[in-house]
Every structure is written in C-alpha cells, then in structure tokens.
C-alpha cells in the first residue's frame, strides 16, 4: 500500500488548505481529485491507491471549510474561491500529462475551472457532477435560502442528505456514518453561490480538453439528466460518456467500482500518451 503524504498549502490569499498526495515513481500521468460538498479528500484513498498501482500519481485537497482545511464549515465567500484553490494545487502537480477529476460539487468546480481558466490538461473527468439538484426544491425553500444566504451568510441548516442515496455498498455507508469529518449542515451562502454557478455551467457550450463523463443513472442527488444534457450540448473534439445503469451518486464508491477504476485508469493511459490540447 502506498503511503499517503499530507501537507498544508497556502493560497495566494493566505488561505490554508490540507493537501494529500499518493506518489509513485516515474508516473505516467498525474491526477488531481476535486471532492464534493460536505465530504473530504481522504475518502478517495482506495481509488488513489488503485491508480498509483497503475503508474498514475494522485493529488487531492480538502475544500476550504471542509476536512482539515481552514475556514468556516461548508462556507465559501465566492464560487471562484474554489477555482482559485484548484489552480493553486494544480500548479504544483509537476511535469507530464495532467488530469482533473471532479465528483458531485467537485465536478461543477472542475468543469467551471476547465472552461473558464483553460489550464493545460490532457483530460477532464466528471463523475455525477452537481449541475442540478435531482429532486425539485420548493420555491419557498429557494427564497428562504437566498434571503439567508445574502443577509446571514454564515448561517447553516441541516442538509437532510440521506446517505442511503450515495451507494449500494453497506460498508461505504457505515464508514460514511462514522466519519466525523463529513459535514451535516449546508451553508446558506454556499447555496446562493452554487445555484449561480450551476446557471453559468448550463451555458458552457465547448471544452478544449478531452472529456470523460461518468453518470450513474439512478443518482438522486445530482440530476443525471443535467449531465446528459451537458454531454449532448458540448462542442468537444473528444468526449466519452460512461453511463452506469442503476448506480447511485457516489459512483467511485459503488459496489462494482473496480470496473470504473479500471475504465478511468485506461482512459487516462490513452489520453496521457497524446499531446495536451489545453492551454499552456
């Protein structure tokens, strides 16, 4: 088993982030993982261990306000702060083919980062990106969240997330329940920022890097329909859809996840041997 290296990293604004790296000798590619809301990067250890065994070095970090990173729990001042944090860590990955993977809210962040910042990447991987809520949110709840988010930005309320919607694997669900770093409350201002970011994401029409989009079609957290619409809409010279029938939200934690691990590693291997289409 590869030893996970941990260190604190500061952004240009002085914000302190917890980063994790799963190193391997002479990596064929490097991957940066961007985790979802309320969770933390340590939950990707199994996936990272698999990839290092395939010659892919993995790096991840806790979002501000999550895990061991600094900041009020679950809070973000501007959605662009997430993009700045991705850029800080990505810049330190090292030489060679570079890939970005985002899960859930991390998928929304990774998509926005690739579309707006145009980094040098060999590929973008999105797993059930949080482009739209799967369940219809009542209008009054949206109005209350917007009111609180703009006037009492630090206020947080119970997220009401049913962990049984995350995975079919009972061991994953038990670990989720026991994990004290998983947040239980959603921040009101975060909701305002994410809703605006989702609207902007719905207008993204093109990408300059190869895309692998993984969709669990029984996701009841992030709407699969929004991901499929994104795939159809995007003008992208190289895009691949991996649709997983019956899978829930956390596709990297599903019972048959080993098949997805293999597919992602294979895709990285192929794209890593091609010249990077992303900006320098």
Which residues are within 8 A (CB) of 116 and not within 5 positions of it... i.e. 6 or more apart? 83
The pLDDT of residue 141 is 67
The pLDDT of residue 63 is 98
Query: For residues 61 and 41, is the Cβ–Cβ distance under 8 A?
Result: yes
Q: Can you tell me the distance from the alpha carbon of 93 to that of 4, in angstroms, rounded to the nearest whole number?
A: 15
Give CB contacts under 8 A, 24+ apart, made by 251-259.
Answer: 251/103, 251/127, 251/128, 251/214, 251/216, 252/44, 252/47, 252/103, 252/127, 253/43, 253/166, 253/167, 253/169, 253/172, 254/167, 254/168, 254/169, 254/216, 255/167, 255/168, 255/169, 257/47, 257/169, 258/50
The pLDDT of residue 278 is 52
Which residues are within 8 A (CB) of 70 and not within 5 positions of it... i.e. 6 or more apart? 15, 16, 17, 64
The pLDDT of residue 156 is 87
Closest CA to 113 of 132, 77, 133, 88: 88
Question: Quick count: other Cβ atoms within 10 Å of Cβ 262?
Answer: 12
Question: Quick count: other Cβ atoms within 10 Å of Cβ 239?
Answer: 17
CA distances from 25 to 2, 19, 54, 57 (A): 11, 19, 11, 8
CATH class of 5-272: alpha beta
Longest CA–CA separation in the chain, Å: 54
Q: Can you tell me the distance from the alpha carbon of 27 to that of 49, in angstroms, rounded to the nearest whole number?
A: 13
The pLDDT of residue 138 is 67
- In the chain, domain spans: 5-272
Tell me the pLDDT of the chain (280 aa) as tens digits.
668 999 999 887 888 999 999 999 999 999 999 999 999 999 999 999 999 999 999 999 999 999 999 999 999 999 999 999 999 999 999 999 999 999 999 999 999 999 999 999 999 999 999 999 998 766 766 777 777 767 888 888 888 889 999 999 999 999 999 999 999 999 999 999 999 999 999 999 999 999 999 999 999 999 999 999 999 999 999 999 999 999 999 999 999 999 999 999 999 999 998 766 654 4
The pLDDT of residue 201 is 98
């Amino acid at each position: 088993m590869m030893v996970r290296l941990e260190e604190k990293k500061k952004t240009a604004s002085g914000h302190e982030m917890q980063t994790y790296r799963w190193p391997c000798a002479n990596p064929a590619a490097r991957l940066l993982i961007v985790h979802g809301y309320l969770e933390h990067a340590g939950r990707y250890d199994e996936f990272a261990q698999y990839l290092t065994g395939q010659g892919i070095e993995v790096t991840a970090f806790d979002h501000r306000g999550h895990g061991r990173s600094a900041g009020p729990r679950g809070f973000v001042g501007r959605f662009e702060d997430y993009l700045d944090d991705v850029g800080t860590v990505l810049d330190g990955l090292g030489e060679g083919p570079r890939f970005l993977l985002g899960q859930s809210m991390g998928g929304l962040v990774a998509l926005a980062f690739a579309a707006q910042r145009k980094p040098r990447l060999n590929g973008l991987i999105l797993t059930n990106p949080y482009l739209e809520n799967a369940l219809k949110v009542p209008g009054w709840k949206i109005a209350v969240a917007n009111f609180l988010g703009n006037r009492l930005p630090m206020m947080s309320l119970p997220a009401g997330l049913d962990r049984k919607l995350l995975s079919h694997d009972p061991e994953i669900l038990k670990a989720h329940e026991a994990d004290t770093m998983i947040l239980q409350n959603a921040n009101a201002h975060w909701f305002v920022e994410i809703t605006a970011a989702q609207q902007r994401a719905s207008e993204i029409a093109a990408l300059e890097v190869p895309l692998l989009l993984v969709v669990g079609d029984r996701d009841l957290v992030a709407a699969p329909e929004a991901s499929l619409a994104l795939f159809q809409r995007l003008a992208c010279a190289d895009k691949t859809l991996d649709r997983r029938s019956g899978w829930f939200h956390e596709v990297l934690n599903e019972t048959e996840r080993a098949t997805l691990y293999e597919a992602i590693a294979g895709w990285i291997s192929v794209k890593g041997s091609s010249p990077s289409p992303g900006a320098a």
